[in-house]
């Protein structure tokens, strides 16, 4: 049975194992797994009932293994099997003090990703750095679009874990007029990709609104294009705040007495919606930055694109994902991060018509797997894009210079 006021999810088999103790779905109040293109690792949060095993017999310890099996049924030949490492936990008591309610948070288990290292990657590009870190984490390295970066230089990992160093490198990865992403997913892969390569790919999924199809517990054999059915949606938008800050340009200044040059770069990122958040006159001046040619270009540490990528990468990621559409989708839908989804949002005014402004193409920025008491599985998909489509109600959508 689903939550009151919420559309039902699909019935799944769920098993949780900690310290050789198995907990089936009837003891699990809530389990949430989150994947996000801006997070290095998937995370988990669980709330379940324990009758003293993990408090009196074998108390929990830091870094405890959390084993998850999620499948359509107990005999499913292709279950999702994942192991997470515990980050933190908390206890509360239910009823007559004989049952503990335990809340646990954790991250996807990898080898040595939080081990602090001091080393350098001499004359290597960021792809080679990411590939080595993936091998050290014992996860498969995946580069589906064969991304090649132009940032061959000395990468220095000074007293940083691989986790922190990945963030450090991502801020400085250089791909002309593009930005890179590097994240682990629930398929136990470390994926390297880029915004432009994902926008240009030809594989497109379709998503449509239908409460009836959302509630299906088995895949419809007539659904030949593997449609993602959703029952509700919500909009998350911080573009107004973003545009006031850096929406139409990004400044990065460096100066000393030896030398100073000023450069400008222009964004040619393809759009997947008609109206960009940056649709104003004179917005092509995306990145203005000053840098010292002596200290940076002539050194053996930094490449000449070091400051440019530092400014542009943040600008492109923040701008493209300034608007999110969150779908509550049928849990049987197989969705991956960075999938391209063609979404048909129904009109709230005219029946059987679409909301032209909100419908259209999106990239999957996040996936949230939710399993509630009794094994009811719900899937939420966060979609992002650079703006919205033209509505017939908007005749003049370009800002004129006064």
Report yes or no on 81 lying in a domain.
Answer: yes
| Strands across the sheet containing 140-142 | 140-142, 189-194, 180-184
Distant-in-sequence, close-in-space partners of 308: CB < 8 Å, separation ≥ 6: 174, 263, 265, 287, 289
Residue 27 DSSP class: G
- Looking at the chain, the number of H-run helices and the number of E-run strands are 7, 24
What's residue 87's pLDDT?
93
Report yes or no on 27 lying in a domain.
Answer: yes
Query: Backbone phi, then psi, for 228, in 5-degree steps?
Result: -90, 110
Give the whole-angstrom CA distance, residue 309 versus residue 155: 14
| Residue 83 belongs to domain spanning | 10-108
Give the whole-angstrom CA distance, residue 209 versus residue 266: 38
What is the residue-averaged pLDDT of the chain? 80
63 sits in the region (left: phi over 0; alpha: psi -120 to 50; else beta) called left
pLDDT band at 95 (very low <50, low <70, confident <90, very high): low
Q: What's the pLDDT tens digit per position in 270-297?
A: 778 877 666 455 455 555 544 444 444 4
Token couple for 295:
């200290």
Report yes or no on 46 lying in a domain.
Answer: yes
- Which residue would you say has higher pLDDT here, 76 or 164? 164
Range 38-53 burial, b when 16+ CB lie within 10 A, else e? eebbbbbbbbbbbeee
pLDDT band at 187 (very low <50, low <70, confident <90, very high): very high
Report yes or no on 73 lying in a domain.
Answer: yes
Report yes or no on 378 lying in a domain.
Answer: no
Checking DSSP bridges between strand 80-94 and strand 65-71, what pairing results, if any?
antiparallel
Give the whole-angstrom CA distance, residue 321 versus residue 132: 28
Among 162-171, 350-359, 386-395, which stretch is predicted with the lowest mean pLDDT? Answer: 386-395
What's residue 1's pLDDT?
36
Report yes or no on 221 lying in a domain.
Answer: no
DSSP letters, 68-111, are EEEESSTT-SS-EEEEEEEEEEEEEEETTTTEEEEEEEEEE--S
Number of domains in the chain: 1
Give the whole-angstrom CA distance, residue 279 versus residue 387: 9
What's the chain's Rg over C-alpha atoms? Answer: 24
Give the whole-angstrom CA distance, residue 250 versus residue 316: 10
> What is the mean pLDDT of the segment spanning 57-78?
86
CATH code for the domain of 42: 2.40.10.10
pLDDT band at 239 (very low <50, low <70, confident <90, very high): low
Report yes or no on 117 lying in a domain.
Answer: no
Distant-in-sequence, close-in-space partners of 33: CB < 8 Å, separation ≥ 6: 42, 43, 44, 68, 82, 186, 368, 369
Q: Among 114, 107, 103, 12, which residue's Cα sits nearest to residue 50?
A: 103
Among 46-60, 69-83, 216-230, 294-308, which stretch is predicted with the lowest mean pLDDT? Answer: 294-308
Report yes or no on 195 lying in a domain.
Answer: no
DSSP letters, 318-335, are HHHTSEEEEEEE-TT---
> What is the mean pLDDT of the segment spanning 194-201?
94
Q: What's the pLDDT tens digit per position in 294-329?
A: 444 444 445 556 667 777 787 788 778 877 889 999
């Amino acid at each position: 049975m689903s939550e009151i006021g919420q559309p039902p999810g699909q019935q799944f088999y769920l098993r949780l194992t900690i310290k050789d103790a198995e907990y089936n779905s009837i003891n699990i109040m809530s389990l949430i797994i989150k994947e996000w293109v801006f997070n290095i690792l998937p995370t988990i949060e669980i709330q379940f009932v324990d009758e003293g095993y993990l408090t009196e017999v074998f108390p929990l310890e830091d870094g405890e293994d959390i084993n998850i099996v999620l499948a359509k049924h107990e005999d499913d030949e292709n279950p999702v099997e994942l192991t997470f490492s515990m980050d933190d936990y908390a206890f509360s008591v239910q009823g007559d003090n004989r049952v503990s309610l335990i809340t646990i948070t954790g991250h996807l288990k990898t080898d040595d990703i939080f081990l602090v290292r001091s080393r350098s990657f001499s004359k290597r590009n960021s792809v080679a750095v990411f590939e080595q870190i993936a091998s050290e984490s014992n996860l498969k390295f995946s580069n589906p679009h064969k991304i090649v970066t132009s940032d061959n230089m000395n990468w220095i990992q000074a007293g940083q874990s691989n986790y922190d160093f990945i963030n450090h490198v991502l801020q400085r990865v250089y791909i002309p007029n593009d930005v890179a992403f590097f994240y682990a997913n629930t398929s136990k892969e470390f994926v390297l990709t880029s915004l432009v390569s994902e926008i240009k790919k030809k594989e497109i999924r379709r998503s449509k609104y239908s409460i009836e199809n959302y509630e299906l517990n088995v895949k419809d054999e007539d659904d030949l294009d593997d449609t993602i059915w959703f029952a509700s949606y919500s909009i998350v938008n911080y573009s107004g705040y973003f545009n006031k800050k850096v929406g139409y340009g990004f400044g990065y200044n460096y100066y000393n007495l030896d030398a100073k040059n000023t450069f400008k770069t222009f964004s040619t990122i393809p759009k997947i919606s008609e109206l960009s958040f940056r649709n104003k006159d004179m917005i092509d001046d995306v990145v203005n930055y000053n840098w010292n040619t002596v200290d940076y270009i002539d050194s053996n540490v930094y490449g000449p694109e070091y400051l440019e990528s530092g400014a542009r990468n943040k600008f492109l990621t923040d701008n493209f994902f300034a608007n999110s559409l969150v779908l509550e989708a049928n849990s049987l839908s197989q969705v991956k991060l960075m999938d391209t989804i063609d979404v048909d949002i129904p009109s709230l005014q005219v029946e059987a018509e679409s909301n032209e402004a909100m419908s259209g193409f999106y990239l999957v920025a996040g996936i949230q797997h939710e399993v509630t008491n009794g094994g009811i599985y719900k899937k939420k998909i966060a979609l992002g894009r650079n703006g919205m489509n033209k509505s017939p109600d908007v005749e003049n959508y370009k800002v004129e210079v006064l």
